[in-house]
Copies of this chain bind each other. A is one copy, B any other.
Amino acid sequence: MRLERFERIMGGVCAPNDFLASGVSCGIKDGEKLDLALVYSETPSVAAGVFTTNNVKAAPVLLTRERVPGSAVRTVVINSGCANALTGKKGMEDAAEMVRTVEDLLGLVEGQALVCSTGHISEYLPMENVVKGIERGVSELSPGGNSDAAKAIMTTDTYPKELAVEIEIGGEMVRLGAMAKGSGMIHPGMATLISIITTDMPLVLDEAQDLLKKAVEWSFNRISVDGAQSTNDTVLMLANGAALTDDYEVSGEEKELFFEALCWLTGNLAMALVKDGEGAAKHIRIVVNGAVDDRSAVEAARAIANSNLVKSAFHGEIPGWGRIAAAAGSADIEFDQDNLDIYIGENKVVSGGEVSSYDSGVIARMLARDEIEITVDLGSGGGSAYFLTTDLSEKYIKINASEKS
């Protein structure tokens, strides 16, 4: 983890200077569950964003991506329980009312608030409740509101996910904080994922967008729970620069350190999303080496990660080399099956496209673990990639055969 260069700290999205947050219950979800979160910067922030590539986009995604990248963003309002997707013109009006309400209450100008929604698709937001929730959320903004905010964005997640780290730049502590939620529809292209990242690092617009895009590609875009891609996926990063004075010039090495910390943050949140994947009992890391190029390696890894047959085999703790080979082979890439090697942990189980002899007791013990690493060497070049996935359990079906979409 190379944590010697940065330290994990408390505080989630409120860890960086001048960031406040809140999480309240306003009745979108049943009961008293928290369902509306606010993240607020006391000074204007550079905002970067990565959004779902799904052709069907929820209203808040359509609104927010018009405002991102942006250089004077102050706040993000996020509701859970209702995705405000497949809601047509009314949905767009509701999303606009959410940002307008936040902007009015906080004395901001139009364009300084962003909005995210997550939850059931094809339902309208109960706007009266939402407006009241925003009023309460604004009044409760505080430097300790990060935990409530992280809870308020959860849907089928079983626990909140937040993280923060600090690095030293120019003798000052620069901080990055984040929260994220999964946990069905987790898939590259990003799924029902919402993640808000805050930092007091000074970043310019293109730089922030570029760094976020790369960090997402290597983290949230390398996880899959069920191969589905959502209408609402959004990762936002707000950078207010509050840690350093305006005249400090950040060196190339310091920028690299920041990027490393950002990747640690997104990588660890991505792993947490997989671990909390719907119905998941096992977590599988798939490494593909020896592909013609990195893109081919990603395709092969994704095909394995999304194979119901592979995931069922891991669930049943049965040897599934044939399924892994067939899944890799189904990717639209080039490789020579005569060079195909497959390893479970460090144990070679397929060699040169042919099943190897191996100690079945050792393999059985490895398959019984909660965390399993498989390596597929395509033997056709220098491309490599990794992917995180889960097993496929009866529980996944149970959740998704009863949970409304």
Contact = CB atoms under 8 A, between A and B. Distances in A.
Interface stretch (A4-12, A196-204, A253-261, A318-326): A318-326
A316 B123 contact: no
Contacts of A350: 86, 122
A66 to B, nearest CB: 16
Question: How many monomers of this chain does the complex have?
Answer: 2
Interface string A119-153: 01111000000000000000000000000000000
Interface stretch (A17-25, A98-106, A157-165, A351-359): A351-359
A398 B54 CA distance: 32
A61 to B, nearest CB: 11
Contacts of A352: 88
A228 B121 CA distance: 28
Interface stretch (A109-117, A208-216, A304-312): A304-312
Interface string A71-111: 00000000000010111111100000000000000000000
Interface stretch (A26-34, A238-246, A330-338): A330-338
A interface SS class: loop
B400 A329 contact: no
A235 B337 CA distance: 22
A45 to B, nearest CB: 30
Interface in A339-389: 340, 350, 352-355
Interface residues of A, number: 69
A192 to B, nearest CB: 9
Nearest to A340: B56
A44 B313 CA distance: 44
Nearest to A334: B55
Contacts of A54: 326, 329-330
A400 to B, nearest CB: 4
Contacts of A85: 322, 325-326
Given A57-B329, A229-B327, 10 more contacts: A56-B353, A85-B322, A86-B322, A86-B325, A87-B355, A122-B322, A123-B355, A323-B405, A393-B397, A394-B394
